[in-house]
Amino acid sequence: MIKFKNLVVLLVVAAIALAGCATPTPTPTPTPIPRPTATPVPPTPVPTKEPVVLTVAGKEYGLSQLHALPQKHLESDGKAYDGVPLLELLHNAGVPATGTLVLVAADGYQAEVSLAKMDAQSLLAIGAENVLQTVIPGQGKGAWVKNLVKIEYKPEVAAEPVLAVAGKGFTLDELKALPAVKADVDGTAYTGVGLLDLLASAGIGGAEAITLQAADGYKAEVKVAQLTKDCMLAFGKNDALDAVLPGVSKGAWVRAVVAVNEVGGGTAILKVCGQPFSLDQLKALPVVAYDFDGKAYKGVGLLDLLKAAKAEGSTTITLLASDGYSADVAVKDLDNQSILNWVGTDVLDAMIPSQVKGKWVKGTVEIRCK
């Protein structure tokens, strides 16, 4: 009986020992519950920019913008065109009413057209496959630019005088607007402006004699009584003005004439800030004389001229030569040695030691003030 109890106790102890050696059952890890996510917002679509088909004075146009402008149907040379009136397009782009257009094609071809030659019939045609073309009736086909991609604007530039008659400047267009004179002399045909008409336009029709001055300074004197209706300043090569004087010595046939003056001191030879000065008036002003770089100079002071013209308040002057050359000089840079130097009897060369020689304008006929 005792043995049986001992056996039971032994079995219990063994069972306890075995239970202590067994691997404990792991505690299960709870499965994480995901947080609810927000519904993703789709990205805002970026609108596709319409391709630029034409640039006008810096403003870009797509086809839809061109079609939104007033439209016009035009028939020219037996062909039909539809598109935008050019004047409407230019107005929309803010282009001024005067100046020049540069029409540029996709292949680089360019044509210039004056705005003065545009009218209601001028068209930007939109053709097959949306090809752009200028249609400008009355203009040469060189201005009918196909595959147009750009219209550039060039502002109107004031024309410079090419001739001074008794101090009055004439541009080339002004000369060509005067009555034309044509004559055949020694087998050569000439076209130009009559000298008698020029003298009358400048108010010296009653002069006894005139001098014709060339761009190189050469001069010739002619009696007005010798002039006939065929005597002219002919339009020569590169629009130079050549004196053609039938019946007068060839020594007076001055080439490249830039100035015509009345002989004597009463005619204006210089204009300062709009005020004319005759030879006698200039010589009545204080004389300035000095030596510079071994040369002697003698003339009238620029500051004295501004004072005489009542333009002392000017900040900048423009010295204009008889051949059209000009240079700007700040008034503050002028001093007592800044003069118009006498060269011969009535030619004035600007002499300004403090400035570069590009501003020493030879043959000065006008001083403009700002």
Domain membership of residue 232 as a residue range: 163-262
Same domain, 61 and 150: yes
Asked if residue 101 belongs to a domain, the reply is: yes
Question: Is 306 within a domain?
Answer: yes
Same domain for 365 and 272, yes or no, is yes
Query: pLDDT (tens digit, 0 to 9) for every residue of the chain, 370 residues total?
Result: 555 566 555 665 556 655 555 555 566 666 666 666 666 677 776 667 899 999 999 999 999 999 999 999 999 888 999 999 999 999 999 999 889 999 999 999 999 999 988 999 999 999 989 999 999 998 888 999 999 999 999 987 767 789 998 878 888 989 999 999 999 999 999 999 999 999 888 877 777 899 999 988 899 999 999 999 999 999 998 889 999 999 999 999 999 999 998 876 456 788 898 778 877 788 889 999 999 988 999 999 999 999 988 888 899 999 999 888 999 999 999 999 999 998 876 789 999 999 999 899 999 999 999 8
Backbone φ and ψ for 311, nearest 5 degrees, come out as -130, 35
Nearest to 251 by CA among 215, 223, 229, 219: 219
- H-state helical runs in 98-194: 172-177
**Do 181 and 113 fall into the same domain?**
no
**Structure confidence at residue 9 (pLDDT):** 58
If asked whether residues 238 and 282 sit together in one domain, one would say no
Same domain, 323 and 337: yes
With respect to residue 17, please indicate whether it lies within any of the assigned structural domains. no
Q: Do residues 217 and 287 both lie within one domain?
A: no
Residue 286 confidence (pLDDT): 92
Residue 11 within any structural domain of the chain? no
DSSP reduced 3-state for 315? coil
What pLDDT is stored for residue 49 in this prediction?
82
Q: What is the predicted pLDDT for the residue at 55?
A: 97
Q: According to the model, what pLDDT value does residue 21 have?
A: 53
Residue 12 lies in a domain: no
The number of folded domains in the chain is 3
Does pTM surpass 0.85?
A: no
If asked whether residues 108 and 181 sit together in one domain, one would say: no
Domain with residue 274: its CATH number is 3.90.420.10
Query: Do 305 and 233 fall into the same domain?
Result: no
- Same domain for 137 and 99: yes
Question: How far apart are alpha carbons 103 and 90 in whole angstroms?
Answer: 12
pLDDT at 270: 86
C-alpha–C-alpha distance, residues 193 and 243, integer Å: 10
Identify whether residues 352 and 293 lie together within a single domain. yes
Q: Residue 120: helix, strand or coil by DSSP? A: coil
Report yes or no: 245 and 236 within 8 Å, Cβ to Cβ. no
Q: Show which of 210, 243, 262 is a domain's final residue.
A: 262
Helices (H), the chain: 2-21, 63-68, 86-92, 172-177, 195-201, 279-283, 302-308
Predicted local distance difference test score (pLDDT) of residue 356: 92
Residue at a domain's end among 236, 262, 288? 262
Q: Does residue 133 sit in the same domain as residue 60?
A: yes
Check whether residue 257 and residue 272 sit in a common domain. no
| 346 inside domain | yes
Is residue 29 in a domain? Answer: no
Residue that terminates a domain, selected from 242, 262, 282: 262
What pLDDT is stored for residue 27 in this prediction? Answer: 62
Q: Detail the DSSP E strand segments found in 59-156.
A: 59-61, 72-76, 79-85, 100-105, 110-114, 123-126, 132-135, 148-154
